[in-house]
Amino acid sequence: RLGPSSTQTKASVTKRIETNRQSRTSHTSGLRTYNDIVNSGAYTPPDYQPRPMKVRTEQEKDRLAHLMAYGVDPAKMALQAAQRSPTPPPRELDRFDELVLEVEERKQFLEQMTTLGKRKEYQQLISNEIADKVREMELIDRQRSKALEKRLKEQ
């Protein structure tokens, strides 16, 4: 059966007659025949040689286990820890500094009570506490002065 686009008559098939030609390699254009290409080995795939695998060491296994367990590479953690500069310990407040802070707190409390209208109730109590703190600060100051004088005399 013929398709709708074809003509109703069969087209005659002409066979191509191969003539004895010269080999194309002798041409100046450098074209090669199919047989020449196949014979040269261009179509034969090279033998598969996998890339050399490096041996997994115990250290590498431990690193990967740590990475899977904690999600952090231990080598990077060590590098970050080394880069961090040691922070100096926070300065400890001595008793004198504590007393200064307490006096400031008492003054702020008294100001808050003034805004609330209750200054008269707390005025005497807070003033006495502040006076006690100031006396203690004076004692500490005298002791420090004596210690400083003693060190200066020894030098």
**Range of the structural domain that residue 122 is part of:** 95-154
Is 20 a domain residue? no
Q: Which residue has the tokens 């695998």?
A: 53
pLDDT digits (tens, 9 = 90+) for 83-142: 776 677 777 778 889 999 999 999 999 999 999 999 999 999 999 999 999 999 999 999
The packing angle between helices 119-154 and 95-116, to 10°, is 160
Task: Tell whether pTM > 0.75.
Answer: no
Residue 22 is predicted with a pLDDT of 53
Separation between Cα atoms, residue 82 and residue 99, nearest integer Å: 39
Tell me, yes or no, whether 149 lies in a domain. yes
In one letter, which amino acid is 109? F
- Closest by Cα among 145, 135, 143, 147 to 102: 135
DSSP calls for 29-96: T----HHHHHHHTTTSPPPP-PPPPPPPPHHHHHHHHHHHHHSS-HHHHHHHHHHSPPPPPPPPP-HH
23 and 33 in contact (C-beta within 8 Å)? yes
**pLDDT grade for 18, boundaries at 50, 70 and 90:** low
Report the pLDDT value the prediction gives residue 29, as an integer from 0 to 100. 67
Residue 108 lies in a domain: yes
For the segment 37-53, the average pLDDT, to the nearest whole number, is 87
The domain tally of the chain equals 1
On whether residue 66 sits in a domain, the answer given is no
Position 65 in a domain: no
